[in-house]
A and B are shown apart, each in its own frame.
Chain A
């Protein structure tokens, strides 16, 4: 057996030596992960304090592992390994069962919708905190069927009231001279799945929740119908399969309802030039890495506004960028194709439509669900201002009053709108 012992010793040492050398090849270390849509851990800045408390070395360890050369290939091998853990059925429920309060009857409480005080944010709450909060909620309980994932929804009484109170507060401050629109978008599960499937998933009835939240709003707030309309069109491509967002087509049907509320005539789909980006594998795929999703990726279908396709956005560093409302990003990573709409999630964006000169304007307060809705508004206003509440600190009502902006449109997904600290964050800028 002696030669076996020696052979084993040599093989083990050789493996570690190869690993050591590869680990030293710093120029092969990746800095971003396309698959996970994130920047990989960076090498930490040294300080004596961080060395003393262990945070420096802890970060070095994380950096070493997170940016190891050939990371993507090794992670692909890991996926193969994980696929062998069990049997992958076409229908699955991944993650925990979402928590939910009972939804009261519409308008049963509170009697005075504006009576509730607006929520306040925790101290030192950053955009990263709220982003983590949102992402966690959307991915909490996923029903997977035939290569598509569906998010569960859990109603929260307190957050529902807080969200309505935030919008009521804005209406109160703006008075009767401004129109305030509230658009709450259901998750893909609420719009697409059968009642039996929704019952198996658990969680709350999204149609009932949206109706209830709308019932808490100031009667002057124009609550735009979404749930029933989207369910009526649920045999069409109104939500992605591999991503948690809705499609531009889903947004289009809600846009038509908004036009009814606003009292304007909607444009027809065939009036728009279309841009298609096939091969999109979105957030659900990043989370679940299912082969059934990879085999049947989504297509991002975008419709270019007629009035203009130009816009300007300000990034989180305060730098302005000239961009397009619908940007052709087919050369980008296919996982990022949802960024084709209004340049993605930006603190501040402005679209000026030179085809109009009536001084009409609106502010859209949104998270990423609003991105594919905004292009439909471009042909109805001279100026559309877009604020992603996660990254913005501006006082929206003050800004509207100072700049004589007429309409406020608050558009959010139901899970995100009534989850975590989102109502408080929205209230903080309204």
Chain B
């Protein structure tokens, strides 16, 4: 189930909110767990077993680690738990990739097995890994009750597409969270904004992008270069609006019931460098790799060679996390190269405006690498962008797509900036001095979420094209 589906919006969510507000406080976690398991099982009951197995492993080993004083044994238990959890992720996500590559080189095995990737496995595995490691580091106490750990991992707000919520972030709120009208309001507003971002903007940008970026190298070569440029620009908008919308909705749903998840995006397309971009993009993943891979490897407080190695490992893994394909590894290493460039060559000497342009260009071509999992398609797209396709650079398709979606694209660009946030801040400032402005702000604050949900419902009815890009991770 996805948040931007009618069955979630008009069946699951109303029922969830209704039942949650009806039951006594002490039963609310059980209600959340039950709804979360139904939500997860919606994608296939059999995948629930994988989630349960992962949870069981982390719960069991975390308790063992906590009860063990011997450092070597603690470490051994940690390694065991990581092998089991990451092994499970590896089997489902990477078996086909590794065996496929082995087959390409050695000719065996004859048949490469393929596994259906359990929804959200990359997200909840990382959550549970962070939990066990944090228990090992004695940053958090182990959760004695299995069902509560299961609630943490399976919570439908964030289980299947992030953000990667650390256990320490919600440990207290699992047992002691407050429901407040302000929190409910903030949650509704955030959820509604995310829903509209997804259902109206991201889906429409996806439709434009997919119309201009056909599958297959030959089809790409047949397009005019301008179509690929514009298609990739729309894809760049789509991928941010899509993913950040999911995080908005997750954070909003959490706020409605008293959970405070950390921000996952901070207007990444306003970045002034690649490093800045990665501080603003998928923050929960970046901080995961920073805290559990980069710093344990030695971070930046080491020799230059070691630092380069540490970065290399982190960015290879970042790429690989996004998908079992060479293009994702290439995508990660692409950013690794620019980070080295910024560290050793640019060294902060670029003017801010130029840095912004530079970061956008680097990120744009990063998405080209990200989009095309097939290397022949990638090369075809790049060649066509350089005017080496069969149709030259200009064509009516790109012109039509641009003109007939010009307001959509403009609004999507605005949605990638903090303009809305600034405008709201300004309105609140003005409302402090004017009663009329205060009334207006109040009306907008009440009407806007309802309006956004209504528009989203209109956009979702009969719309079979409603993908969430980050589901495949």
A residues neighboring B (CB under 8 Å): 1-2, 4-9, 11-13, 15-17, 19-20, 22-23, 33, 36, 51-54, 57-58, 60-62, 64-66, 68, 71, 74-75, 77-78, 81-82, 84-89, 91-100, 141, 143, 154, 200-202
In whole angstroms, how far apart are the Cα atoms of A46 and B450 in the complex? Answer: 35
Complex interface: stretch among B107-115, B138-146, B451-459: B451-459
A65 touches B44 (CB 8 A): no
B218 touches A89 (CB 8 A): no
B268 to chain A: which residues have CB within 8 Å?
Answer: none
Identify 11 new A-B residue pairs, CB closer than 8 A, beyond the known A54-B47, A97-B227: A13-B14, A53-B46, A64-B5, A65-B463, A78-B459, A91-B396, A93-B396, A96-B212, A97-B397, A98-B222, A100-B222
B10 touches A89 (CB 8 A): no
Complex interface: stretch among B84-92, B161-169, B398-406, B418-426: B398-406
Given contacts A61-B42, A71-B462, contact A16 B457 (CB under 8 A): no
In whole angstroms, how far apart are the Cα atoms of A74 and B116 in the complex? Answer: 35
* Shortest Cβ gap from B456 to chain A (Å): 10
B404 touches A92 (CB 8 A): yes
Q: Mark B6-48, 1 if CB is under 8 A from A, else 0.
A: 1101110111011000000000000000000000011111110
Please tell me which one of the listed residues B11, B44, B116, B455 contacts residue A64 in the complex, with CB atoms under 8 A apart.
B11
In whole angstroms, how far apart are the Cα atoms of A9 and B256 in the complex? Answer: 10
In whole angstroms, how far apart are the Cα atoms of A102 and B116 in the complex? Answer: 41
Given contacts A5-B184, A8-B189, A65-B462, contact A93 B404 (CB under 8 A): no
B residues neighboring A (CB under 8 Å): 1, 5-7, 9-11, 13-15, 17-18, 41-47, 116, 181-182, 184-185, 188-189, 192, 200, 204, 211-212, 214, 218-219, 222-224, 227, 390-391, 395-397, 399-400, 402-409, 442, 445-447, 449-450, 453-455, 457-464
B6 to chain A: which residues have CB within 8 Å?
Answer: 19, 23, 61, 64-65, 68
A4 touches B446 (CB 8 A): yes
In whole angstroms, how far apart are the Cα atoms of A75 and B189 in the complex? Answer: 25
A98 to chain B: which residues have CB within 8 Å?
Answer: 222
Q: Which residue of B lies closest to A85 (CB)?
A: B408
B7 touches A65 (CB 8 A): yes
17 A–B contacts from the bound complex (CB under 8 Å):
A9-B181, A11-B447, A12-B453, A17-B18, A20-B11, A36-B462, A54-B46, A54-B47, A61-B1, A65-B7, A81-B455, A82-B204, A85-B204, A87-B403, A89-B400, A89-B403, A99-B219
B10 touches A23 (CB 8 A): yes
B446 touches A7 (CB 8 A): yes
A81 to chain B: which residues have CB within 8 Å?
Answer: 200, 455, 458-459
In whole angstroms, how far apart are the Cα atoms of A7 and B406 in the complex? Answer: 35
A91 to chain B: which residues have CB within 8 Å?
Answer: 396
In whole angstroms, how far apart are the Cα atoms of A154 and B9 in the complex? Answer: 43
A16 touches B44 (CB 8 A): no
Given contacts A8-B189, A93-B397, contact A20 B449 (CB under 8 A): no
In whole angstroms, how far apart are the Cα atoms of A97 and B400 in the complex? Answer: 12
Given contacts A85-B204, A202-B391, contact A12 B461 (CB under 8 A): no
A54 touches B44 (CB 8 A): yes
* Shortest Cβ gap from A389 to chain B (Å): 26
8 interchain residue pairs of minimum CB distance: A54-B44, A93-B396, A19-B10, A5-B185, A85-B408, A16-B14, A74-B461, A92-B400
A75 touches B462 (CB 8 A): yes
Please tell me which one of the listed residues A61, A71, A92, A100 contacts residue B461 in the complex, with CB atoms under 8 A apart.
A71
Given contacts A11-B446, A20-B11, A89-B404, contact A95 B458 (CB under 8 A): no
Given contacts A16-B13, A19-B10, contact A74 B42 (CB under 8 A): no
B45 touches A96 (CB 8 A): no
Please tell me which one of the listed residues B45, B222, B400, B450 contacts residue A15 in the complex, with CB atoms under 8 A apart.
B450
A97 touches B222 (CB 8 A): yes
* Shortest Cβ gap from A354 to chain B (Å): 48
* Shortest Cβ gap from A77 to chain B (Å): 5
Q: Which residue of B lies closest to A14 (CB)?
A: B450
In whole angstroms, how far apart are the Cα atoms of A140 and B403 in the complex? Answer: 19
Please tell me which one of the listed residues A17, A61, A84, A92 contacts residue B7 in the complex, with CB atoms under 8 A apart.
A61
In whole angstroms, how far apart are the Cα atoms of A417 and B403 in the complex? Answer: 34
B449 to chain A: which residues have CB within 8 Å?
Answer: 8, 11-12
A77 touches B407 (CB 8 A): no
In whole angstroms, how far apart are the Cα atoms of A64 and B466 in the complex? Answer: 14
B44 touches A86 (CB 8 A): no
In whole angstroms, how far apart are the Cα atoms of A267 and B459 in the complex? Answer: 52
B44 to chain A: which residues have CB within 8 Å?
Answer: 52-54, 57
* Shortest Cβ gap from A73 to chain B (Å): 9
* Shortest Cβ gap from B255 to chain A (Å): 12
A141 touches B403 (CB 8 A): no
In whole angstroms, how far apart are the Cα atoms of A5 and B441 in the complex? Answer: 12
Q: Which residue of A lies closest to B118 (CB)?
A: A54
A61 to chain B: which residues have CB within 8 Å?
Answer: 1, 5-7, 42
A8 to chain B: which residues have CB within 8 Å?
Answer: 185, 188-189, 445-446, 449-450
* Shortest Cβ gap from A340 to chain B (Å): 28
In whole angstroms, how far apart are the Cα atoms of A52 and B42 in the complex? Answer: 9
A16 touches B10 (CB 8 A): yes
A60 to chain B: which residues have CB within 8 Å?
Answer: 7
B43 touches A12 (CB 8 A): no
Q: Which residue of A lies closest to B43 (CB)?
A: A54
* Shortest Cβ gap from B450 to chain A (Å): 5
B397 touches A52 (CB 8 A): no
B17 touches A86 (CB 8 A): no
In whole angstroms, how far apart are the Cα atoms of A122 and B463 in the complex? Answer: 30
A143 to chain B: which residues have CB within 8 Å?
Answer: 396
Q: Which of A11, A71, A89, A141 has the most CB of B within 10 A?
A: A11
Q: Which residue of B lies closest to A19 (CB)?
A: B10
In whole angstroms, how far apart are the Cα atoms of A96 and B18 in the complex? Answer: 46
* Shortest Cβ gap from B216 to chain A (Å): 8
* Shortest Cβ gap from A166 to chain B (Å): 23
* Shortest Cβ gap from A184 to chain B (Å): 22
B446 to chain A: which residues have CB within 8 Å?
Answer: 4, 7-8, 11
B403 to chain A: which residues have CB within 8 Å?
Answer: 86-87, 89, 92
B189 touches A62 (CB 8 A): no
* Shortest Cβ gap from A54 to chain B (Å): 3
